[in-house]
Structure 1
């Protein structure tokens, strides 16, 4: 996190006349940050950015992706009482939000692992301004970040296909894309999946398909001897409630916007100990 980002988030919370944090005597104190429920940790590096900026000595025995029990002490803090109070809400907001994403991601990955080695990925359905941190929380939970932005790969979606057709869209992408960029095509039918494979897509996304249709499409692709290097991804309407059915389909990747936008914040608190 850039210094300017740290200052922006602190300024947003402190405002221009912070009386609350300056009510207490400004002296060296100790404090702890602990979790009130079991969770997978994420955002520890971000918390350290705020502590370092405010001159707070912070220690932790944990790392990103560790799973901890209710009551676990995530950080031990020592520093100015005023500075610790000023860091409190911003740090807890980041930790609560990002640990929530990591925890849900870990749960989804564990569900899929009962049936296959299929990757669990997030999408670009992220909070504006927080994408980098939310995707890193997915990584902490054992998931795949997918694309961080539109430049990472070329995505041919339904509106591209409606305007250009699958073949023309792939041909145009091949001409414009770097050799380092994969071309992914979103399809909604078995026939279009076969077309995308035939025209040289690197990744085929089966969008909003029911599990039974995904299985049918996978069988059709195998019968057509589609090259093994083509990655098959499924996405759209997938959440913890129906994840098991998609885990049984044999796809390479299950991408889920829900592991970010449906993640529940983890309850994390800060208390002075002296």
Structure 2
């Protein structure tokens, strides 16, 4: 479960309406008791429902129904209802709708990608930290609800050596010296090295790398590289990153890799969510 602190949700509300809902105030509808209903306009994998509900609760409304994040709902399904003062409902309306549209879009696309992988393999779909700064929690919840896993939650979590690291230590030849010292200092961690060629991967594996992360390698070439590496280093794990999308993810899932790393789900088309606010009937 991803935990959102109350002040984080309050900041979302305050960003959109720091003072007053001017339209509602001038129309004189602030004190009317109304009902807000949120519906989907297509099949959707839900996420951030609990946080959307908390928006209205913080504003003093009563949430009378909420669906559950991680569930799939059909077109037209009611996913959230709240009752309260019209000014409270209007103040939270766009904040909640924008949150749900963007993040449910990510969750829905992630679920589609996961389904493609599961149709042909049992390997995990791993989503990178390549999100907009400040959006780590919402994006992480969305990909988890979509059935994927985080690749790296942050720099403090894993050891992944990139070309830019190698440029500072004398190149790939330095791995043979550096990896044993890293293994000693971080004995509970695995060491990963990003590679672009088979030669680089063989060198990293010989130096003691636990995992090779290939970047933007065509599927047919990747299959051959995986076979060669696994034959020489049976315990070596291999993942592929870069250029993976809904059209080719099945092919990559069948290439022999141990996992697929991607960030494309963050650019998913937003979900289509509808919101209505009406006077509460007696």
Q: TM-score, normalised by structure 2?
A: 0.89
The ranges of structure 1 where at least 4 consecutive aligned residues each deviate by more than 4 angstroms after the TM superposition are: none
Deviation at 1:176, TM superposition (A): 4.3
Deviation at 1:251, TM superposition (A): 0.9
Deviation at 1:17, TM superposition (A): 4.6
- Partners of 2:21 and 2:91 within 8 A in 1: no
Asked whether 1:206 is paired with 2:214, we answer yes
What residue is the counterpart of 1:120 in the other structure?
125
Deviation at 1:4, TM superposition (A): 2.2
What residue is the counterpart of 1:247 in the other structure?
253
Deviation at 1:87, TM superposition (A): 0.5
- Partners of 1:197 and 1:226 within 8 A in 2: no
- Partners of 2:53 and 2:66 within 8 A in 1: no
- Partners of 2:38 and 2:80 within 8 A in 1: yes
What residue is the counterpart of 1:218 in the other structure?
226
| Structure 2 CA distance for partners of 1:60 and 1:147, relative to 1, 3 Å | farther
- Partners of 1:154 and 1:173 within 8 A in 2: no
What residue is the counterpart of 2:176 in the other structure?
167
State the alpha-carbon separation in 1 of the partners of residues 212 and 45 from structure 2. 31
Deviation at 1:151, TM superposition (A): 0.8
- Partners of 2:183 and 2:189 within 8 A in 1: no
* 3-state SS, counterpart of residue 84 of structure 1: helix
Give the aligned length: 270
Q: Which of these residues, 63, 77, 84, is aligned with residue 68 of structure 2?
A: 63
After TM superposition, the structure 1 stretch with the greater mean CA deviation from structure 2, 194-203 or 80-89, is 194-203
- Partners of 1:118 and 1:250 within 8 A in 2: no
The unaligned stretches of length 5 or more in structure 2 are none
After TM superposition, the structure 1 stretch with the greater mean CA deviation from structure 2, 10-19 or 216-225, is 10-19
Deviation at 1:7, TM superposition (A): 2.3
| Structure 2 CA distance for partners of 1:215 and 1:31, relative to 1, 3 Å | same
Deviation string 1:22-49 (CA, Å, 9 cap, x unpaired) is: 3314132222111111110011122123
* 3-state SS, counterpart of residue 209 of structure 1: coil
| Structure 2 CA distance for partners of 1:93 and 1:61, relative to 1, 3 Å | closer
After TM superposition, the structure 1 stretch with the greater mean CA deviation from structure 2, 179-188 or 103-112, is 179-188
- Partners of 2:195 and 2:201 within 8 A in 1: yes
State the alpha-carbon separation in 1 of the partners of residues 163 and 77 from structure 2. 46
* Structure 1 vs Structure 2 CA RMSD: 1.8
- Partners of 2:66 and 2:81 within 8 A in 1: no
The unaligned stretches of length 5 or more in structure 1 are none
What residue is the counterpart of 1:12 in the other structure?
15
| Structure 2 CA distance for partners of 1:62 and 1:4, relative to 1, 3 Å | closer
| Structure 2 CA distance for partners of 1:220 and 1:37, relative to 1, 3 Å | same
* 3-state SS, counterpart of residue 275 of structure 2: strand
Deviation at 1:217, TM superposition (A): 1.2
What residue is the counterpart of 1:135 in the other structure?
140
* 3-state SS, counterpart of residue 20 of structure 1: helix
Alignment of 1:37-52 (within 5 A): 37-52=42-57
Q: TM-score, normalised by structure 1?
A: 0.92
Deviation string 1:137-186 (CA, Å, 9 cap, x unpaired) is: 00100111121111111111121123332334434533543x44332211
Deviation at 1:15, TM superposition (A): 3.6
What residue is the counterpart of 1:88 in the other structure?
93
State the alpha-carbon separation in 2 of the partners of residues 81 and 116 from structure 1. 50
